Structures are given as C-alpha cells and as structure tokens.
A and B are shown apart, each in its own frame.
Chain A
Amino acid sequence: MQLVLNPDMICCVTAEPTLTELDDIEALDRVYRSRLLRFVAYSTGDQDLAETIVQDCLLKAYNARDSFRGDCAVYTWLAHIATNLMRDHQRTRKFQFWRRVQKTAPDLSELSSLLPSGESSPESQILARERAEQVSAMLEALSPNQRTIFLMRFIEEMELQEICQATGMQISTVKTHLHRAVKAVRLKLGGRI
C-alpha cells in the first residue's frame, strides 16, 4: 500500500516547528536576534537604535504569536515588524534629533581579528575590512527604502515575494528600488565610470 501525502498534511508538518519556535522566546532570541540586528543596524545606520528596535520586535512577535498565520517564514514576519518599527522611529521628531546628535554606526574595524582562517593574514584582513567599509559607505548613500530592500535581497538573501511581504510594497516598487540600488552599487563598487 502506498501512502499519499496531500498538501494539507504538508502544511501541518511545516507549520509545527514554526509555532514551537515562536512559543519559546529564548529560542526566538537565539535564532533571530543577530540576523535582525544586522539588518536593522545597517538599515538605520545606528547600532544603539537597532538594539532597541530588535528587542521591541522580538517582544512584539512573542506577544502577538497567536496572530502569526504561518503563511510566510518567521524571519519574513519578524522583518515586517522590524521594518514597521523603523518607520515609526524615523517618523518621530525626537528620533530625528537624537539621530543627528548621537548616531552610532556599526563599527566593522573591531572585527578584523575575527575573520576566518582563509583571510587571516594581516593584508587580507585589511583588504576585507576596506571592502566591507566601501559597502557600508555605499549603503549610507542609498535612500532608506533602497537600502532596506538591497539588504533584504543581497545580504539576507530573501526572495522578492518575501521582501514584498516584509515591506508591504508592491513587487514593481520593490523591483524599482532594487534596480536603483544595484545601479548605485555598480557605480560605487564596480569601478565603472
């Protein structure tokens, strides 16, 4: 006798670990905090603010876990919450004032000694750091939407559909932002004139 899986059964099987993950706040923190922190820190350009937003995001997600329907990945849902929180912060005047006064961009220079053994020579460490700093500077030159979408696509490796879900934008809008971001990247990093 041959067993046949129907799509409903597959959905149940895939949804189960997701619910378990959301039910345990420590697991949620352990799995997603660093990924969210990187995304938010480079989207806002402020690591202190990023920590606050990530903390709020994880707590919000945990408290609203019952509303998660499982129709997207947990990270997509978290990125959606984080994106909304970033927008809220960017809207307030208070944030804009403090952003100018005490913005603390992520500092990659402290990490040169942590690079894997493949790039452990001092020269390669310096080169790698310079390249990363070029990307960091290039990101700052992008508009907030272009930066967020570029990070989602090329650093977080999210699919276009996931980016749409996370940002609440139409796919055409996402593609437009991405197109402009890639153009800027090619200009700044590709060495084209």
Chain B
Amino acid sequence: MEHQQSHLTDAQFSELLLGTKPTAVRAHLEACTQCSDEAARVSLALGSFEQQSRLWAERRAASQPILDSQRQPIFPWLHRPQAWTAAALAIALTAGIGVTVRNDISARKDQPRAVQQQIAIAKPVPALSPSTLKADNELLSAIDGELRADESAPATMYGLTSTSRGVRTRVSRKVSNE
C-alpha cells in the first residue's frame, strides 16, 4: 500500500533506466500502474533514441576518411597560438633593433660633417697686413663719407627744409651757399 502512495524516487527511476530492478522497485512497479507506464514510456523513448543515434553516428563516421598518423599537420607548432605570439614578438624585436641600428649608423655618418663645420667656425681668420688694413679703413671712410653726403638729398630734392634752424648739414649748407 505504501508503494502505491509514494511513487518511485528519481534515484530509483535512474536505477530502473539503467536496467537494475531492486526488489522494492519491482514490487512497486507491479502495484503502481502510473509508475510502470512512466517507466515503460521513458525506457522506450531512450531505447529508440539510443538505437537511432547509434545508427546515425555509425553512418556518419563511416562516411569520413579514417585518420592517418602520417596526415598530421606538417608544422604542428604553427597551429598553436603561442607560436604566433612568439613570432609577433620576434618580428617586433627585429624591427626595433633594425631601426635602432639604422639611426646609430646614420648618426655616425653625420658626425664628421658636423665636426668639420665646428672646426671651420673655430678656425682663426688669417692676420691682415697693416697696409691692407689701412686701405680697408680708407675705403670704409670713403663709403661713410659718401653716405653722409647723400643723407639730406631726398629732403632738398622734394623742397623739404628742416624746422630746426641751428642744425644744418654740411651738404645743405653747401647747397644754400651755391
């Protein structure tokens, strides 16, 4: 009577599905039509599934080529992500070293030119003879004189006179005398 009121537990049902029927379960199934129907339905469904899925898998597996130990990847390490990471690092390092070396070489090439420029700047001017110095000074004085002489020309040319009476240039005085 007790078996009829409390149905099979999940654990008992699992045992039943696995094909083991303890005495208590067997007795309950004989007495309880609800549990025996349930067990029959589930067992049948699982049996059909097991059968059909096995046939499906066998058929599917048979349609595929059998694995061959010789047909393994040529470079198995290429299929590992670590290999790609290592390769990327190696490329980055090589590129970095290359750029550094190139900069270093170009800096070394440029160095003599810079040094020569520095030497050229630092080179003392050759000493001039006193006669050359005198001639240069005379030339410079002559140029200065010419420039001073032309200083007031634009003002006189355009009829402009200086407002300050006392201050008259040499050239303006000369022009007024004429």
Please list the residues of chain A having a beta carbon within 8 angstroms of any beta carbon in chain B.
25-26, 28-30, 33-35, 37-38, 41-42, 47, 51, 55, 58-59, 62-63, 106-108, 110-111, 114-116, 127-129, 131-132, 134-136, 153-155, 157, 178-179, 182-183, 185-186, 189-192
Contacts and interface: CB of A to CB of B under 8 A. Distances in A.
A111 B56 CA distance: 7
Interface string B142-174: 000000000000000000000000000000000
Contacts of A111: 52, 55-56, 59
Main secondary structure of the interface of B (DSSP, over half): helix
27 contacts: A26-B66, A26-B67, A29-B66, A30-B66, A34-B58, A37-B57, A38-B53, A38-B54, A38-B57, A47-B60, A51-B60, A51-B64, A111-B52, A111-B55, A114-B55, A129-B52, A131-B45, A132-B51, A132-B53, A154-B17, A155-B50, A157-B18, A182-B13, A186-B10, A186-B13, A190-B39, A191-B38
Contacts of A127: 48
B48 A154 contact: no
A134 B62 CA distance: 26
A30 to B, nearest CB: 7
Main secondary structure of the interface of A (DSSP, over half): helix
A42 B44 contact: no
Contacts, number: 115
Interface residues of B, number: 35
B46 interface: yes
A32 B57 CA distance: 11
B141 interface: no
Contacts of A157: 18
What 7 pairs between A and B have smallest CB-CB spacing?
A38-B57, A135-B49, A34-B61, A190-B38, A131-B48, A131-B45, A132-B49
A62 B52 contact: no
Given A25-B68, A41-B57, A47-B60, A189 B51 contact: no
Q: Kindly name the residue among A42, A111, A191 whose own CB sees the greatest number of chain B CB atoms within 10 A.
A: A111
Contact of A191 (B37, B51, B56, B72): B37
Interface of B: 10-11, 13-14, 17-18, 37-39, 41-42, 44-46, 48-62, 64, 66-69, 72
B10 A59 contact: no
Given A38-B53, A59-B72, A189-B46, 12 more contacts: A25-B67, A34-B58, A37-B60, A37-B61, A38-B57, A111-B55, A128-B51, A132-B49, A189-B41, A191-B38, A191-B41, A192-B38
